[in-house]
Amino acid sequence: MTSSLTVAIAVPLEAELVEQIRAVDPSVTVRYEPELLPPERFPADHSGDPDFKRTPGQEERYWAMLNSAQVLYGFPNENPAGLARIARENPHLQWIHAMAAGAGGAVKASGLDQETLQKFRITTSAGVHAPPLAEFAALGILNGFKRSAELAKDQAAKVWPELRIPTRLVNGSTLVVTGLGEIGLETARIARALGMKVSGTKRSVEHIDGIDHVVDNAGLPGLLATADAVVNTLPGTAFTEKLFNREVFAAMKPGTVFINVGRGTVVDEEALLEALDNGQVSYACLDVFAVEPLPQDNPLWEHPKVMVSPHTSALSAAENRLITERFCSNLRTFLDGGDLPHLVDTVHFY
């Protein structure tokens, strides 16, 4: 690709992981100035401490560092405005690696036109978050089947019910996964280990080992008629907005457990609330919402059949290491002139 390359690290990162990037190839110069970056408050806190402020001199150094590079690790200031600025100011920019799996939303929010977006590539960290998201989905399935919300309520009230209520058996039940990408397939793997039968959706319908039926979104209602649990992993696009509407929830059999680890815009929340109240959905485990943070007056907060997670299910102590490993692999591919994986679709923004 090039005889020499400069990589600038735009977000907080542990020193040993910076060295891991340096070790990819001797032709690569890695610029990393931790004093210019907000300290992490927790592992993989890519935005860092919001109270951190650069001096005018530090601000100038930060942008000079980023503008000297052909490759960026992270969006500048980890926000759409930073992406828009670097796209305008850095004529050498060839590639940015985003920390998020769903970086398309930030790219869209940057307001960059197609001509500008074609000047460099943006890759995501898709797949890095598959294990924690799939584990969270499994938690949601087990919570719904094993009545954990009712158990917690009884424990808080110190109630020992006279009538013992059976729980549902996960083994032998049916799961539908919307979006059989890396997250969906990892969810399916865990579900099969629990003894579940798995079907799901994919934009391009094809046979997938271990998946009973694969359909596109048009075939989703037919799958839902036999599903005991549904896990959504789909990104938020014009094609998926409010995919889970009244008609789709009505196609579910009564008592379905619903988990959303994709994007909140895929679900019509009013329709979900109706499905919860009429028993079509027996339990919902939600990590994402149409508006985030979830407004205080949103009824999902206090619904007895809902678990609210503040869009944190993808986070893990291993995240920085896993993203760095993905970036290093991509960097090797980039240096060798190969095709980068997980490019942001700048038309549909996912």
* pLDDT in the model for residue 3: 63
Shared domain for 278 and 322, answered yes or no, is no
Structural domain boundaries enclosing 293: 130-308
Shared domain for 138 and 119, answered yes or no, is no
* pLDDT in the model for residue 107: 96
Shared domain for 108 and 141, answered yes or no, is no
Looking at the DSSP bridge assignments, the partners of residue 308 are 286
Alpha carbon 69 to its chain centroid, in Å, reads 27
> Quick check: 141 and 331 in contact, CB under 8 A?
no
Q: For residue 347, tell me if it sits in a domain.
A: no
Q: For residue 350, tell me if it sits in a domain.
A: no
- Cα–Cα distance measured from residue 122 to residue 107, given in angstroms and rounded to the nearest whole number: 9
Per-residue confidence at 102, pLDDT binned at 50, 70, 90?
confident
Q: For residue 341, tell me if it sits in a domain.
A: no
* pLDDT in the model for residue 101: 83
For the beta sheet containing 28-31, the strands, ordered from the edge strand earlier in sequence to the opposite edge, are 28-31, 5-9, 71-73, 95-97, 121-123
Handedness of CA 319, 322, 324, 330 (dihedral sign): negative
What mean pLDDT is reported for the chain?
96
Q: What are the residue numbers of the active site?
A: 263, 292, 311
Alpha carbon 158 to its chain centroid, in Å, reads 37
* pLDDT in the model for residue 166: 94
Shared domain for 36 and 117, answered yes or no, is yes
Mean pLDDT of 183-197: 98
Question: Which CATH number do you get for residue 297?
Answer: 3.40.50.720
Give tens-digit pLDDT for 252-281. Answer: 999 999 999 999 999 999 999 999 999 999
**Do you know the residue count of the chain?**
350
| Percent above pLDDT 90 for the chain | 95
Per-residue confidence at 126, pLDDT binned at 50, 70, 90?
confident
Shared domain for 303 and 288, answered yes or no, is yes
* pLDDT in the model for residue 1: 45
Shared domain for 159 and 39, answered yes or no, is no
Q: Of 288, 78, 80, which is closest to residue 183 (Cα–Cα)?
A: 288
Shared domain for 91 and 182, answered yes or no, is no
Classify residue 158 by burial, with Cβ atoms within 10 Å: 0-12, 13-18, 19+.
Answer: exposed
Shared domain for 299 and 167, answered yes or no, is yes
| Percent above pLDDT 70 for the chain | 99
Number of independent structural domains in the chain: 2
Mean pLDDT of 28-32: 98
Q: For residue 346, tell me if it sits in a domain.
A: no
pLDDT at 93 over 50: yes
Shared domain for 19 and 62, answered yes or no, is yes
